[in-house]
Amino acid sequence: MTSPNSQIDNLLNREYPAGFVTDIDADSVPPGLSEDVIRLISARKQEPQFMLDWRLSAYRHWQTMPVPQWSSVHYPPIDYDAISYYSSPKSRKPGPSSLDEVDPKLLETYAKLGIPLAEQEMLSGVAVDAVFDSVSVATTFRDKLAEYGIIFCSFSEAVRDHPDLVRQYLGSVVPPGDNFYASLNSAVFSDGSFVFVPKGVRCPMELSTYFRINAANTGQFERTLIIADAGSYVSYLEGCTAPMRDENQLHAAVVELVALEDAQIKYSTVQNWYPGDEEGRGGIYNFVTKRGACRGVNARISWTQVETGSAITWKYPSVILEGDGSVGEFYSVALTNNLQQADTGTKMIHIGKNTRSTIISKGISARRGQNAYRGLVKVLKGAEGARNYTQCDSLLIGDRCGAHTFPYIEVKNPTARVEHEASTSRIGEDQLFYCRSRGLSAEDAVTMIVNGFCKQVLNELPMEFAVEAQKLLGINLEGAVG
Amino acid sequence: MNAMLTIEDLRVAVEDKPILKGIDLTINAGEVHAIMGPNGSGKSTFAQVLAGRDQYAVTHGRIDYDGQDLLALPPEERARAGIFLAFQYPVEIPGVSNVYLLKTAVNALRKHRGEPELDAMDFLTLVQQRMALVQIDEDLLYRSVNAGFSGGEKKRNEILQMLMLEPRLAILDETDSGLDIDALQIVASGVNSLRNKDRAFLVVTHYQRLLNYIKPDYVHVLAGGRLVKSGGPELAQELEQRGYGWLQEQAGAAP
Amino acid sequence: MTIPQQHYREAFERQRDQLPGAGVPWITRMRSRAMTAFQQKLFPDTRVESWKYTDLRSLDRHVFAPATATVRLTDLPDLTPWLFDGAPMHRLVFVDGRFTPELHPFQPLLTGVTLSSLAEILNAHPEQLEHVLGETLAPERPGFDAMNTAFLEDGAFIRLERDAVLEQPVHLLFISTGQRDSMTTVRNVIQAAPGSAATVIESWVALNDVACMSNSITEIRLDEGAALEHYKLELEGAAATHIGGTYVRQYRDSRLVSHSIALGGRLVRNELQVDLDGAGAECALNGLTVTQGRQHVDNNTRIDHRQPHATSNEWYRGILADRSRTVFSGRIVVHPDAQRTRAQQSNHSLLLSRDAEADARPQFEIHADDVQCAHGCTVGELDADALFYLRSRALDEAAARSLLVYAFAADVLERMRLEPVRHYLERKLAGRLSGDNRLPREVSPH
């Protein structure tokens, strides 16, 4: 994979649109946000005019919006003027020159997860030229997909190479004014993924961010757009199990999924946010707006996520069930340990007739972790025959953790059937002793019980992801008991 | 012949309150010992301490199991060494199926003994045979451990586990309480099917009834934290007729 | 100051010297502080989480004034329809929130029981209420609680001494005479000493369908081992606003069974908060809401498990017709030391028309791990299989629907131990469900 640095260099060596000249080699744009910064970003990316206009419009809207407050997640306020929205490569802090300079705890985790050395270097930001022949790997992959007519590239490339598609669908699921962080993202998004699957095509392999050029360091303001045309199928994997350590505190991403008639999009995320230290310091704020629209009849969108650690997450993958017979699914495991907090949930909006949604949310809280589920099931007036089934289960390990569920159920159609169930269970002394008296060690017992608890969700993940997810849960539960 | 289990002056307390006040007991392979006693005498504590429950503090004494210091071993190692406890109140573990727990436990044991692990087919065959003995339906196997089981089903499930794990020392902690006569007979036949010269049983019970079906070699009475009397199977009959009162007085008299 | 704020300030100033306990310093201070708190904001808006689904903007446009006491007793109708078929009960009757003994003979009770008008106690023996009044309210809570404290005039004061057991139920009958734009402010205080037991019924009825408001708070304290069965029947007029709070503090091993039934009123908010502040305490909260027209009923419950081994069980059902709307918000908080808590919550709503809306928020906040908590919540329509079954046994569709809807509601009524009350409600329910074609036929061909 080409290092990000050389890509940027290529870009910077091109000519700039007339009227806007800037000193390329200077340090990054000073922190803070203004229309000039946005113009700079757009120019650096060589975006067509429509994109710049779109960004500016979003920015102007953002300026009018109040910062959101949430009672259950506590975070100190973010100073938006202190963030640098674009950093030139020269201003990036030099990475470690070898693995010896990398935090040994991080390396230990990589080893446990079975990540090969070369990847470890890449993940830790070690500046190595041509660690492996990543350009050719990625290129071969793309060529194969192109045979099917499938477009899979970075968002920036899509803006340049497929502007019509982008223009048609960008902001159609998450409009720039939708919420505070979506607005900010719409103004300053850096990069992300773009996928288009043509009519009737079943994408032959799982698309992973790993294979996208410029996967590393796309940083804080990711923008992803996935379009599945009628009758198509695509499974997209995001994230990786290696702990994501980042200088950037604030992540405000936007992911839009559009599924047309009879199309299906499966979006899986396995994320292990580096939790900072045991006191929870140094964590990351992860504000993501993820939304899918089932536009056509019988369209189907599933969100599956396994998240551990971190920071303060605020994400509500949602599905808008417009097409008759469309289906929305949400499967989630959230694990918090130490002082981590997670506030997750989903929104299922039933609009068309005979739509269905399934929500399975499993929260595991250990030691002093706090897990909150906040979901919305909304059945609008015309949603004849809507069906929802929600199951929220909490597993508590230790007596200082917390599990909270705050579902919202709003039903305006009498033919709907909405069912919500929630339950709590624990791994306590009794269960552990029972398993140990049958010959299992305490760690094995915990792993067994946790896996049993999460089974329903793990079964929805593509296989390799599922294996990684299990490993991830195991590592993050270490020391949770005893 | 070396004894399988030797207990010397065992004293156990819970939150500083003494429960067992000096137990001495020897169990040889091939023997069935019954421990009877009034409620609150410490019978369950005794059973759980042998299995390694750490909320009980052993304040004094020694337990030798096959020449090893048992008190130094954590519960899973005691299990792997062949000690099995049938719980008085089997615990529920939602999300983990019975069959999964059984298979994991059986294979953990086999691994420890250097035997090859059972594959799914062989395991299932074995389970089905044993299930028939305790009259448990196959569908219970796929349910979560003890979840929604009736009292009788839970106890029979404990016996099933015992049959699958083939322990050397099986401790039954009031397995008969709450069972009707049919269930009692099933439990007893499960236990009896395992009786042989290499295996020992410690049957803790309040009622004499179970001992009609599992004939003990020795009967001990635990009262006030001590073994106040030992005898043959006829002691059980005597207790049935006279109750525990006469023995409790004796226990009360001792310091 | 907005116009409503000014209006309520003036109403308060006009009244304050005539309100019970006017000369008593602690009462005056309490009312003043409450009025200040109330003035800050008046009524909560929908941005306040617990009022998200109930819009109170009409209260900004439509102000109320304390009801006058000029209603002649001879103008009042016969009370018989509200007396549960003459079942023997101790009874206190309030007209527009004021105790009116002339309407119903009041017998002195057994020793060990005090049953009186709150106003009388405030005037004659205020010291009995000094550390009692307001003890179950969260301090300085603005909005309706503050409004109640500032304007409260009367209500029932029930005190049971140690081990006193009241065999006959106590019936508190609140009659609104329906003066346009009037408001009545009631505070009831029920104190049960260790080992005592009683049954208390609050009926809220009205003489007409005129727009008026009742603001009522019932404070309940159950000491160790005490038991109370509490009924609240909301049967007011079709344009009435009723804001009711029932705040309970329970101590060790005490037991509460609560039945909250809402059939009347245009805008009803029932807040029910139970603090399980002693080990082994138990509460069972049952609720039934049957709405029609444009009624809006908001049931907001909160149970705090603060100590170990306590049990709570919630069973709420709602039946909605026409354009009505119900909100159920049930929050259960299990505090860190409340191990071995068992909490169960079940909330089901039946929608009988296209335009009805049910909103539900079953919530858990759990900070202890050795607990069993579960909730189940459904919103839907009549079961098609059950309908078909009844029809295959020769019932026509309307009768089959009627029967199933009735059964759905009876599920809650069956939990009432007081037969006269249960029968009374069964009749009311049957009347509501069968008259006026309450069950439209075109709902659901499924």
Please say if the pLDDT value at position A298 is more than 70: yes
Select the residue of C363, C374, C379 nearest A423 (Cβ to Cβ). Answer: C374
- Same domain membership, residue C397 and residue C266: no
Radius of gyration of chain A (CA): 22
Q: How confident is the model at residue A196 (pLDDT cuts 50, 70, 90)?
A: very high
- C409 located within any domain: yes
Q: What is the pLDDT of residues B145-173, one digit of tens each?
A: 877 788 788 888 999 999 999 999 999 99
The token pair that represents C160 in the structure block: 């049971």
Query: Rounded distance, CA B171 to CA A439, Å?
Result: 15
pLDDT on residue A130 = 30
Is the pLDDT reported for residue A383 higher than 70? yes
| pLDDT per position as a tens digit, C421-432 | 999 998 888 888
Provide the pLDDT confidence category of residue A71 given band limits of 50, 70 and 90: very low
Cβ separation C378–A402 shorter than 8 A: no
Residue C268 shares a structural domain with residue C390 = no
Residue C330 falls inside a structural domain: no
pLDDT at A129 over 50: no
Please give, rounded to a whole number of angstroms, the shortest distance from the CA of A104 to a CA of chain B.
32
Contact between residue B135 and residue B152 where contact means Cβ atoms under 8 Å apart: no
Task: State whether A452 and B52 contact (CB < 8 Å).
Answer: no
Q: Give pLDDT tens digits for A148-174.
A: 999 988 888 899 999 999 999 999 999
pLDDT average, residue stretch A128-157: 67
The pLDDT mean for chain A works out to 78
Q: Is the pLDDT of residue A79 over 90?
A: no
pLDDT at C126 over 70: yes
Structure-block tokens of residue A418: 């909405």
Whether residues C63 and C199 share a domain: the answer is yes
At B3-35, the pLDDT tens digits run 899 999 999 998 889 999 999 999 999 999 999
Q: The tokens of B108 are what?
A: 């953990």
Residues of chain C above pLDDT 70, percent: 94
More confident of the two residues A358 and A44 = A358
Q: Per residue in B41-90, pLDDT tens?
A: 899 899 999 998 878 899 999 999 998 999 999 888 888 899 999 988 88
Domain check: are C389 and C272 in the same one? no
Domain stop point among C235, C258, C276: C276
Banded model confidence at residue A81, pLDDT cuts 50, 70, 90: low
Is the CB of residue C372 less than 8 Å away from at least one CB of chain A? yes
pLDDT at A121: 59
pLDDT of residue B182: 84
**Cα–Cα distances in Å, from C350 out to A301, A436, C401?**
29, 48, 12
Residue A451: the pLDDT is: 87
Q: Quickly state the pLDDT bin for C199 (edges 50, 70, 90).
A: very high
pLDDT digits (tens, 9 = 90+) for C257-275: 999 999 999 999 999 999 9
Higher-confidence position of B251 and C218: C218
CA gap B90, B161 in Å, rounded: 12
Cβ distance B93 to A436 less than 8 Å, yes or no, reads no
Nearest to A300 by CA among A258, A249, A345, A247: A258
Confidence (pLDDT) at A17: 29
Has residue C442 been placed in a domain? Answer: yes
Distance (Å, whole) CA C155 – CA A262: 64
Mean predicted lDDT score pLDDT of chain B: 88
**For residue C109, pLDDT beyond 80:** no
Domain that holds residue C426: 384-446
Query: Does residue C251 sit in the same domain as residue C392?
Result: no
- Report whether pLDDT(C387) > 50: yes
* C191 located within any domain: yes
Instruction: Check if A433 contacts C (Cβ < 8 Å).
Output: no
Q: What was the pLDDT predicted at A76?
A: 60
Do B and C touch, counting CB pairs below 8 Å (3 needed)?
Answer: no
For chain B, the C-alpha Rg in angstroms (whole number) is 18
Q: Which residue has the higher pLDDT, C103 or C308?
A: C308
Q: List pLDDT tens digits, range A419-457.
A: 998 888 888 788 889 999 999 988 888 888 898 899 889
The mean per-residue pLDDT over the stretch A196-200 comes to 96
Asked if residue A215 has pLDDT above 50, the reply is no
How remote is the C-alpha of C199 from its chain's centroid? 15
C154 secondary structure, DSSP code: B
Determine which of A29-43, A270-284, B126-140, C206-220 has the lowest per-residue pLDDT on average: A270-284
Distance between CA atoms of A348 and A377, rounded to whole angstroms? 5
Using the Cβ of C46 and the Cβ atoms of chain A, whether some distance falls under 8 Å is answered with no
> Given this model, what pLDDT does residue A216 score?
39
Residue C190 lies in a domain: yes
Burial of A97 (0-12, 13-18, 19+ CB in 10 A): exposed
In a domain, C339, yes or no: no
Over range C14-32, report the average pLDDT: 91
Region of poorest pLDDT, from A91-105, C4-18, C29-43 = A91-105
Q: Is residue C127 part of a domain?
A: yes
In this complex, does chain B touch chain A, defined as having at least 3 beta-carbon pairs under 8 Å apart?
yes
Q: What's residue C394's pLDDT?
A: 66
Check residues A210 and A437 and name the one with the higher pLDDT: A437
- Is 50 exceeded by the pLDDT of residue A5? no
pLDDT at B162: 93
The residue ranking higher by pLDDT, A89 or C418, is C418
Kindly report, residue by residue over C329-359, the tens digit of the pLDDT. 999 999 999 988 999 999 999 999 889 999 9
The percent of residues in chain C predicted with pLDDT above 90, rounded, is: 57
Q: What is the distance between the alpha carbons of residues C377 and C349, in angstroms, rounded to a whole number? A: 8
Domains of chain B listed by start with CATH number: 5-90+167-253 (3.40.50.300)
- Residue C283 within any structural domain of the chain: no
Size of interface A-B (CB pairs under 8 A): 72
Q: Cβ contact (<8 Å) for A419 and C368?
A: no
Smallest Cα distance from C150 to chain A, Å: 30
Domain count for chain C = 2
pLDDT-derived band at A133 (thresholds 50, 70, 90) equals: very low
pLDDT higher than 80, residue A309: no
User: What pTM was computed for the model?
Assistant: 0.75
pLDDT of A281 above 80: no
Residues 6+ apart with CB under 8 A from B4: B27, B28, B29, B65, B66, B168, B169, B200
Per the CB < 8 Å rule, is A426 touching C371? yes
Pick the last residue of a domain from C276, C299, C332.
C276
> In the 8-state DSSP scheme, what is residue C229?
E
Q: Lowest-confidence range among A25-34, A194-203, B58-67, C206-215? A: A25-34
- Please give the pLDDT value at position A78: 66
Same domain, C259 and C389: no
Q: Please answer yes or no on whether A414 and C359 come within 8 Å at the CB atom.
A: no
Structure-token pair, residue C306: 């603060």
* pLDDT on residue A205: 82
Q: Which residue of C has its CA nearest to A365?
A: C369
Task: Note the pLDDT tens digit of each residue in C137-159.
Answer: 876 667 899 999 999 999 999 99
Q: Which residue has the higher pLDDT, C233 or C131?
A: C233
Burial C230-257 (b: 16+ CB within 10 A, else e): bbbbbbbbbbbbbbbbbbbbbbbbbbbb
> What are the pLDDT digits (tens) for A19-54?
222 333 333 556 677 888 888 888 888 899 999 999
Report how far residue B97's alpha carbon sits from residue B124's, in angstroms, rounded to the nearest whole number: 14
Q: Quick check: A77 and A67 in contact, CB under 8 A?
A: yes
**Final residue belonging to a domain, choices C245, C276, C307:** C276
Question: Which pLDDT belongs to residue A423?
Answer: 86
